[in-house]
Amino acid sequence: MNMQAPPATGVQPPPIPARLEDMQLPVVMMRDIMLKTMFRKNLDMIGDIARAICLPRAVTTELIDMTRAQNLLEATGTLHANASNEMGFQLTDAGKARTLDALSQSEYFGAMPVPLDVYREQVKRQSIRNIQITRKQLTDAMGHLVLPDDLLDNLGPAVSAGRSILMYGPPGNGKSSISNGIRDAMGEKIYVPRAIEYAGQVITVYDPIVHSAAETEEDDPNSLRVRRSYDTRYVKCERPTVVTGGELSLSMLDLVYNPTARTYQAPLQLKSTGGIFIVDDLGRQAEPPQSLVNRWIVPLEENKDILALQSGEKFEVPFDTLVIFSTNFHPNEIFDQAALRRIFYKIKIDGPNQQNFLKIFAMVAKKRGMPLSEPALVHLIKKKYPTINNVYANYQPIFLIDQIISICEFEGMPYQMSPELIDRAWANMFVKDEHIVK
């Protein structure tokens, strides 16, 4: 017996279908997707077909036998010696006609979709709310950041709860970096469906731009023994992170219909299932912040979202996402109290104090290969920062040191720091208020 090693992740993988009836998909849909895949990819061997439609060989064989019985496929009569003497199959004239008719109804081919109800069960197995983040995990993931001591005290419980978070505070203080650190702390891998099915419609979910595949599995082409450890209609991925900014609009949270292919693409929040959805720069979108949060009220409170097909039919999908809103505005300026109640955690991200600012400055200088200079630092702290009321921000060390590096390279001199170079770099960090004569 070929014993499979337990998966490295604590997430239970999606079970592998053993028979055609385990698929819980319309038989005609499965048959047509297989025919379209054979036609579009010019496939004729069971092993290749099984890999293309992401089904076990045994289930694919059942599907082929059923399709042969309908006179839509026929054996080619030749054995492929390089593939364990597999028999080849090809479309009959009736099969070609059926395939062209199916393509006219939907261009989708390839991986068999996962029924929505089956996907719901997998979402429960890998729920973001099953994660318990420890202080050590969060500290390790954010070790490259210099953060106030009490920030992790507030952030840790919020992340472990898997509920919505609003991070607010002055710009340039690492709200985006903190959001990415939260994702890194999660660690676990999850299973993302290539596509899901609802009411006979195919909705593609897996997106290489959003999802980072952790590994791929396929059958040994020279063996009939299956070596899979999970249903390969899913892709094993890092927990996804979707980041949106000023470009976010309400329409981006709806299904995207492709009228040519006659298929749907999952909206951003569905692609982020099991991971994090970051709404950065809240308040910079064309839509008012209140409208965006109103769109999230049902998902945030009931852990489900409502989507609509082209026909107007509405249906529920799981909403299992840690939503992080990040804004430079004070929450009371952009939300009413009803909206704020629906965001479970509000965490202010302030700029660093002088001590932490100097730590960041020293870390950046070391990373950039810039030697520190005590006279330059004294000039920066005693002469420059008092002009802006000693307001420090996390982005400033990187900005100033990169400016000094550019000046040194332009002047053809080794990297160095001086009060004069600090002044030249500082001049580019702020724009003076002055009247421009037109």
The pLDDT of residue 226 is 47
The pLDDT of residue 85 is 64
Residue in the block written with tokens 């952790």: 214
The pLDDT of residue 131 is 82
The pLDDT of residue 253 is 93
The pLDDT of residue 2 is 41
Instruction: Give the closest residue to 129 by CA, choosing from 324, 296, 322.
Output: 322
The pLDDT of residue 357 is 92
Q: Which residues of the chain have pLDDT under 70?
A: 1-9, 77-85, 215-228, 432-438
List, for residues 337-378, the tens digit of each pLDDT value. 878 888 888 988 888 899 999 999 999 999 999 999 999 999
The pLDDT of residue 5 is 39
List, for residues 236-270, the tens digit of each pLDDT value. 998 898 888 888 889 999 999 999 899 999 999 99
The pLDDT of residue 222 is 45
CA distance 375 to 382: 10
8 A C-beta contact, residue 187 and residue 347: no
List, for residues 20-68, the tens digit of each pLDDT value. 999 999 999 999 999 999 999 999 999 999 999 999 999 999 999 999 9
The pLDDT of residue 438 is 55
pTM comes to 0.81
